[in-house]
Amino acid sequence: MAIDAAPPESPTTARDKLMTTELVPEQVLPKVLGTFGLTATYVFIICWLTGSSVMATGGWTAIPMWILGILLFLLPAGLAVAELGNLWPGQGGVYIWAYRTMNEPLAFFGGFLSWIPVILNGASSPAIVLQLLLLAFHAEIGLTLSIILQLVILWVVIGLALAKLAANQKIMNVTFVVYGVLTAVIFVAGALYAANHGGPATEFSLHDTLVPNFAVGGFLFGTVLLYLVGVETPFNMGAEFLSVKRSATRMILWGSLALIAIYLLTTLGTMMALPTAEIDPVTGVVGMLGVAGFSGLMEIAAIVLAVIVFVALVTYQVAYSRLIFVSGLERHLPRIFTHLNPRTRNPVTAVLVQGAISSTIMVALFSQSSLANVTVYLTGALSVVWLISGFFFFLPLPLARRQYADRYATEQFWRIPGGMPVVWLVTVVGCLATLGGVYYSFATPWIDVPTGTWMTWLGSISAGCLLVGLLVYVFGRRSAQKLSAPDALAHLAVLERKPTETV
């Protein structure tokens, strides 16, 4: 008797078949991220208060540049990732969105470009922590000792990132409140100083405050976008949200408002207390309290800001390690990268790999040039690479509307109001702003070095990142595919999440 063949899988069924990274993390990772915790995570990932120091060095034209960055980049990015995150609320964020709307190789490169900033950030941001501490204690040290101390800072960060996410979340929540207090202190101190001295220390110009000057301060636009990228990053931990539908859009709304307030208030406070020529591009945002605050306030603020940057570094390591975990689940990387600590449920191998690569870059590059310059070179390259990753959540937006029209018609989830015209407006504006940010980051030096030197450093670091991505894809895929998917995931079966871990 003949046996009827199973009916062929319909195109829609095949299209919507869940990826490994949409299935496994839901079973093995605890859900601990609520709205307040996600808002704090969002701010720590995006907001670097030292960005206000950099922007303040440009004078009052910094204000319209901030506003342009918010309107042309932050707003479109927030709208795009809110819709995509609600449509596909799984672990991996930009990787899933690109996979669903583009193809698997582009999804990998979108995820890789979104991940590589954690390496550059890990290599450069310990220097910021150290500079703030040196300011607080009025100390100076040599380059060799500086590199050693930065490595110590980085590996203490790595150690904390290996702890339970719930424990790290409590630290982030408390530090987030402190962030708000420090912002208020900087702004109020600057305003009082300006009131008592007949005006702001940076000479006020109504024209500069209202009209962005790209001819003189074009580099500020690239800088603004650097300090606004990362909106998509919390969705790397999508499976660890208590509720994506309840928290995702609230996180973006409240987190963006907090971000705007912190940046604008601290930039204004810095300019009101210090003339442009005296603003240090790293520590100026707290250094202004040396003239605008009472004795000892600057030192306290520098220590507080060092702690904030330290906590932000921990947040980075935690959030970005999930992309390596996802690459392991999707067999772009060998099975070892899917290893989770049974107690903390953190991807241990991923976190350690991030720390090891950042340490190598830190030692290799800082031995080639001055500490301050290399920190800025790394930051500039971070800006270029990270901004390019933005295309992998702007372009999927209209593609999702077209390819998944049936889901939009039948399912209830948040989407950008106004239909396709607004979707295309968000996509086009976001992409053009991203291109502008890449251009100004690459073509206009952020420090006093020849343009050719700046472009050589940024081009070399960025090209190196892309080459590494290509090699990882080719060799990682070849190695990982030698193991079947069930065998690759068998070790995770013992980690099935207990009901008590969902609260």
pLDDT in tens, 45-98: 899 888 899 899 889 999 999 999 999 999 999 999 999 999 998 888 899 999
d(CA 108, CA 355): 21
For residue 328, the 8-state DSSP code is H
361 Rama sector, left if φ>0, alpha if ψ -120 to 50, beta otherwise: alpha
**Cβ pair 482, 10 in contact under 8 A:** no
Helix axes 419-443, 214-226, angle to 10 degrees: 110
Nearest to 104 by CA among 327, 287, 393, 298: 327
Q: What is the pLDDT of residue 98?
A: 92
Q: Is the pLDDT of residue 183 over 90?
A: yes
Q: What is the dihedral of CA 467, 469, 472, 474, to 10 degrees?
A: -80
Alpha-helical runs (H) found in 333-370: 348-366
Residue type, 41: T
Helix axes 94-101, 20-28, angle to 10 degrees: 150
Contacts of 466 (CB under 8 A, 6+ apart): none
Q: What is the pLDDT of residue 222?
A: 85
pLDDT tens per residue, range 92-126: 889 999 999 998 888 888 888 888 888 878 888 89
Per-chain mean pLDDT for the chain: 86
Contacts of 352 (CB under 8 A, 6+ apart): 158
Q: Is the pLDDT of residue 10 over 80?
A: no
Q: Is the pLDDT of residue 44 over 70?
A: yes
Residue type, 207: H
Which two tokens mark 398? Answer: 């209209």
Which carries the bigger pLDDT value, residue 362 or residue 153? 153
Q: Which domains does the chain have, with CATH numbers?
A: 21-203+215-406+414-484 (1.20.1740.10)
d(CA 118, CA 321): 9
Q: How many CB atoms lie within 10 A of CB 251?
A: 29
**Cβ pair 186, 266 in contact under 8 A:** yes
**Cβ pair 241, 85 in contact under 8 A:** no
Binning pLDDT at 50, 70 and 90, where does residue 6 land?
very low
Nearest to 39 by CA among 248, 238, 179: 248
Taking the CA atoms of 211, 213, 218 and 220 in sequence, report the sign of the dihedral they define: negative
Q: Is the pLDDT of residue 15 over 70?
A: yes
Q: What is the pLDDT of residue 281?
A: 84
pTM of the model: 0.88
Strand partners, 450: none
Residue type, 75: L
Residue type, 325: F
**Cβ pair 46, 259 in contact under 8 A:** yes
